[in-house]
Structure 1
Amino acid sequence: MNIAFIPLRCGSKSIPFKNIKEFCGKPLVYWNLKAIEESKSIDIVYVATDCKEVIETIEEFNFKKVTIYERDPQNARDISPTEDVMLEFLTKHKQDDNDLFLLVQATSPITQSYDFDNAISQLIDSKKDSLLTVVNEKRFFWNKNGTPMNYDYKNRPRRQDFEGFFLENGAFYINRVKNILKDKNRLSGEIDLYVMNDYTSIEIDEPLDWHIAESYMKEHILKNENKNKKKIKLFLSDVDGTLTDAGMYYDNEGNELKKFNTHDGKGFELLRKAGVKTGIITSENTKIVENRAKKLKVDYLYQGVEYGGKLDIAKMICKKENLSLDEVAYIGDDINCKELLSAVGKAACPSNSLSEIKELYSIIKLNKEGGSGAVREFIELLIKESLI
């Protein structure tokens, strides 16, 4: 078994609650957990923390590989070495001696899933005992006494011909459980080096590091991810609790009424102008929704859809429009939306949605409630991410 281990403390003097502070739109620890979740080689990740806020934040992600380990307070102090909490965990949670144990540091959020997978394969192939991540630093270093440390200044090499030094970047370390217990260290025996990209050299310890790391993440990771994302060509929405506030209203004659939001209507207009097809899929069947759909000028309206049928409807529309589900965005709030929300390229839910929906992996939890502009908020996010 390959085990990842992320130690997170509550306290941080330089950046308060930095492990859950927003970094590129998500809590800092999210990025490593996402990479581990997507890793083909890591079986489980234990997050060792003493912090209620950290636990609550992580539980919102609904990552399948994550298990919380509540570390002893004495090993969560400023002066506590990381090895102490590693040994505490391995003493309390017996693991197989030959299990690979990855110490992952949340302060290096740029680490990708392929880094974990490639490093594990490299260590196994090398037959060495442990591994650490590094970057190749091609800088000239000097000793305090004025003598060069790593080059001859009389024969200054060109950068492309300079071998340089290998700088420990602190992203992660791999060792076997038996070695950690024996040597009481994250590294031991014959050590292998896994070389990462230059921009991963930054570790977030100070506020300035934060801004630099965010710039690197946006430039080298997020920009490329957005390039590879398919554009949204079909936008689908639920009705009750999404386009409406889920309230039940009646006039004096007992006629049912629904409250819609004009800002959402403008959102559908923006989609139409951008050439995006639109649709409404709902389990109810009312003249009110039919009238609203006409007002919004949606391309598709399906009412009276039975439980579990929304995904089938979406697939049918995709077939007709020659689209894939990756090119579909859907917003819904209740259990009958779950299957479709889990299948589309972009999924979102209003802030007052059912808890089971808000816990779906990769769903966008919007700030606004259903009927209060949540649909418009989702549309604007898609536009901001250049997916429309």
Structure 2
Amino acid sequence: MAAAPLTASERASRVKLMIFDVDGVLTDGGLMFTAQGDTMKSFNSMDGHGLKLLGEAGIRTAIITGRRSEIVAVRARELHISHLYQGVADKIEAFTELMREANVTAEQCGYMGDDWPDLGVLTRCGFAAAPANAHPEVIARAHWVSEARGGHGAAREVCDAILRAQHRYEALLAAACGASRA
């Protein structure tokens, strides 16, 4: 008899490295351009705090994105994101390099993406997540889908789900309230 497939929570409990796409996941996917051709992006502060909480819990974070932007590099530094891959044409190749660099297996990786370029990594990692407004093909292949849209709390939701699955959420919440972690 074959073992039952893992639940999303069981998959999230194994995550040691959580990887995020940027446009449509950490942002709403909108791209604003200045007259000089510079790109501007808007990030959600609650999403950012969720990534920081993962780090506090010992879960490393990474970004793999097809675009290259100094704004993303600045945001990654602010959030202490362990690994940043920008301007990536082949996300599977970047994912393979990242696993080697971080010394983790695909089953120990989570990935949140929203569109076709994310499918290669999404279908290879142990925990696949998508924002509510992801492309239907991404949602169909995700283990977990947020209620929030990309750039509007989706990343925070997945961070909270991982922390809960790993039984770390309550301790972090207690610490935020000033209670002891005992």
Q: Note the 1:17-96 alignment, pairs <5 A.
A: none
- Deviation for aligned residue 1:311: 2.1
Q: Note the 1:233-244 alignment, pairs <5 A.
A: 233-244=16-27
Whether 1:384 and 2:164 are equivalent positions in the alignment is yes
- 3-state SS of 1:265 partner: helix
- Deviation for aligned residue 1:357: 0.6
The structure with the largest alpha-carbon Rg is 1
User: Structure 1 stretches of 5 or more lacking a match?
Assistant: 1-38, 41-111, 114-220
Q: Note the 1:209-224 alignment, pairs <5 A.
A: none
- Return the structure number with greater strand share: 1
The answer to whether the 8 Å contact 2:64/2:91 transfers is: yes
Mapped partners of 1:261, 1:351: distance in 2: 15
Cα deviations by residue, 1:65-113 (Å, 9 ceiling, x for unpaired):
xxxxxxxxxxxxxxxxxxxxxxxxxxxxxxxxxxxxxxxxxxxxxxx75
TM-score (norm 2): 0.82
Mapped partners of 1:344, 1:378: distance in 2: 15
Aligned residues: percent identity? Answer: 33
Which amino acid in the other structure matches residue 155 of structure 2? V
Mapped partners of 1:318, 1:230: distance in 2: 18
Cα deviations by residue, 1:150-180 (Å, 9 ceiling, x for unpaired):
xxxxxxxxxxxxxxxxxxxxxxxxxxxxxxx
Q: Which residue of 2 aligns with 1:277?
A: 60
Which amino acid in the other structure matches residue 336 of structure 1? P
The answer to whether the 8 Å contact 2:12/2:161 transfers is: no
Q: Which residue of 2 aligns with 1:288?
A: 71
Mapped partners of 2:51, 2:45: distance in 1: 10
Q: 1:229 to 1:348 in 2, by over 3 A?
A: closer
Q: Which residue of 2 aligns with 1:327?
A: 108
User: Structure 2 stretches of 5 or more lacking a match?
Assistant: 169-182
Cα deviations by residue, 1:1-32 (Å, 9 ceiling, x for unpaired):
xxxxxxxxxxxxxxxxxxxxxxxxxxxxxxxx
Cα deviations by residue, 1:266-315 (Å, 9 ceiling, x for unpaired):
01111111111111100001111111111111111111111xx2122222
TM-score (norm 1): 0.40
Q: Note the 1:1-388 alignment, pairs <5 A.
A: 226=10, 231-251=14-34, 253-306=36-89, 309-360=90-141, 362-386=142-166
Which amino acid in the other structure matches residue 347 of structure 1? A
Pick 1 or 2: higher relative contact order, CA cutoff 8 A, min separation 6: 2
- 3-state SS of 1:359 partner: helix
